[in-house]
Copies of this chain bind each other. A is one copy, B any other.
């Protein structure tokens, strides 16, 4: 079981170190190899995703990823900015299926912006297509407008596009995930306006015929953004395109109030996957031992389950995380009166202890 460890920037190093600590405590045999990615790689090699890092990622069964990005790279050309590393990894490895659970832990209900009764017990799974859509669609760029309201003016453009096989494969992933849960799938699109969305909706409806035991509901993206606020627990599994998924998965994550707890998995068709916390690189608190490592530790659990065929070990980690929460241990982002404030390493140690 070969794992590429890519800590990245900001708090990435600290949180990945704790996840590695937890992996090493499982008593399993892993081959771990680290490499630079993001701003750290740009500084060392002039590119956020150097060839050597990409090679390591390709050869690994799974990638444990921290976070990338820092304001200090804002002025770089887009192709050199840290985020390109994550986009490049997704595309190069074909990681088309992004799993973003939004779970509200019993002990952290109070951290949410929402009233407790609306959020307690929340457990939804957003499945975001991750290698298509307007994120990667060609053509894109700047040019002189040939038509539109201001012909001749300078304009910028991007292409949203989805082909049938791209939609089919994410649809199968989503229906299968729904089958393992409550058998309710919500597909989010903007079919009343977009051709791509209408096609998405048509293909989802077709594939649904193969999953008659799953209930499929279509919802417009604007309405989904509203319903998530109004009654998040009405959702179970949600599937959507790359762009809408970016927005809705972050909205759903923030509803829980504790994004420091939320892992994610990005898979291709051969069980290879990239695992990263849902939160960012938080350069403002980097190096201070304040970051919450639990989202990364839970991402390592997802890695064991989805890419490394170690569901029992995954379950042990998840149970250990539940245990440290029950013990009242809290990093600053989830701290509340009456609980015990701990730092990044202490939290990692406590999870190891609880194993």
Among A6-14, A51-59, A138-146, A307-315, the stretch that binds chain B is: A138-146
Residue A213 lies at the interface, judged by CB distance under 8 Å to chain B: no
Q: Number of contacting residues on A, CB 8 A?
A: 70
Given A113-B230, A226-B254, 13 more A-B residue pairs with CB atoms under 8 Å apart are A78-B192, A83-B192, A145-B161, A148-B163, A155-B162, A156-B196, A158-B161, A190-B243, A222-B249, A225-B251, A226-B253, A229-B255, A247-B247
- Answer whether A163 and B192 are a contact pair too, CB < 8 Å, given A142-B199, A246-B222, A250-B225: no
Residue A44 lies at the interface, judged by CB distance under 8 Å to chain B: no
- Answer whether A163 and B149 are a contact pair too, CB < 8 Å, given A222-B247, A225-B247, A225-B251: yes
Contact B134 A150 (CB under 8 A): no
> How many identical subunits does the complex contain?
2
Closest 7 A/B residue pairs (Cβ): A156-B199, A157-B161, A155-B163, A226-B254, A225-B251, A153-B163, A222-B250
What residue in chain B is nearest A78 (Cβ atoms)?
B198
Most chain B beta-carbon neighbours within 10 Å: one of A83, A155, A190, A230: A155
Residue A135 lies at the interface, judged by CB distance under 8 Å to chain B: yes
Residue A223 lies at the interface, judged by CB distance under 8 Å to chain B: yes
Residue A81 lies at the interface, judged by CB distance under 8 Å to chain B: yes
Query: Which residues of chain B are within 8 angstroms of A165 by Cβ–Cβ distance?
Result: 149-150, 153
Contact A160 B163 (CB under 8 A): no
Query: Which residues of chain B are within 8 angstroms of A198 by Cβ–Cβ distance?
Result: 78, 156
Contact B159 A159 (CB under 8 A): yes
A332 to chain B minimum Cβ distance, whole angstroms, is 16
A window 180-203: CB within 8 A of B: 190, 192-196, 198-200
What residue in chain B is nearest A87 (Cβ atoms)?
B193
What residue in chain B is nearest A131 (Cβ atoms)?
B149
Residue A75 lies at the interface, judged by CB distance under 8 Å to chain B: no
Residue A288 lies at the interface, judged by CB distance under 8 Å to chain B: no
Complex Cα spacing A212 to B227, Å? 38
What residue in chain B is nearest A279 (Cβ atoms)?
B226
Contact B254 A229 (CB under 8 A): yes
Complex Cα spacing A50 to B53, Å? 59
